Amino acid sequence: GTVVVATKNAGKVREFALAFGKLGMNVVSMFDYPELPDVVEDGATFAENARKKAKTVAEALKLPVLADDSGLAVAKLNGEPGIYSARYSGAGANDASNNAKLLAELAKLAGFESGKQEPLPDGSKLLSDARFVCALALYDPQTESFIESEGYVAGQIIDRTRGVNGFGYDPLFWLPAFGRTMAELTPEEKHAISHRGQALEALLQQLT
């Protein structure tokens, strides 16, 4: 079968295609429906935004639709950028400008640090605890009902980008258990531990 995912994020599309491909399903995204307008993400939470994206697109297509709202919460930034992760660096934001903004915000705090953090072997330093959050919502317009889930992964923000896999903040997201950033994991490794992988597993549990 086919799963419609209400996203215009190519990184998310790749990850859902990998996951659903293993289940023998293929994924279509908003790249396949260019005529549909963008959904305004004005919710106060990841879950609210995911529900709005899923319901809006599902009602337009008259098909069940899955949506993902996700982001990065950085402890030393009081949980920012959070639900504003995609637009952290302002108008025209992209992954590179958002990563630069994150390092700039953490650099502002560096003067207050005691310097107790030992550098890693390559000289890099870990700047803050952080976690990725993913809220999924599947809306069925026929039954007018949602199935929802959330997933999380804990890590730390490293002071320089490492790795080329994944997308978004992955090159700055250090996983102590791997000794690598999320962008240094293979797609399979990322899916096995990521916020999105966890959320998808929880969603599938509810469907079976």
Closer residue to Na ion, CB minimum distance, 169 or 174: 169
Binding partner selected for residue 170 from Na ion, ligand ITT, none, CB under the kind-specific 5 to 8 Å limit: ligand ITT
Determine whether the annotation assigns residue 10 to a binding site.
Answer: yes
Question: Least distance to Na ion from the beta carbon of 124, Å?
Answer: 29
Contact call for residue 8 and ligand ITT (CB under 6 A): yes
Query: 183 CB contacts (<8 Å, ≥6 apart)?
Result: 161, 162, 163, 164, 165, 166, 170, 171, 173
Interface characters, 59-98, with Na ion (x: CB under 5 A)? ----------x-----------------------------
Binding partner selected for residue 169 from Na ion, ligand ITT, none, CB under the kind-specific 5 to 8 Å limit: ligand ITT
Tell me how far apart the alpha carbons of residues 181 and 165 are, in angstroms, rounded to a whole number.
Answer: 10
Burial of 169 (0-12, 13-18, 19+ CB in 10 A): buried
CB atoms within 10 A of CB 178: 13
Residues that bind ligand ITT (CB under 6 A): 7-9, 12, 41, 68-72, 85-86, 98, 132, 166-170, 194, 196
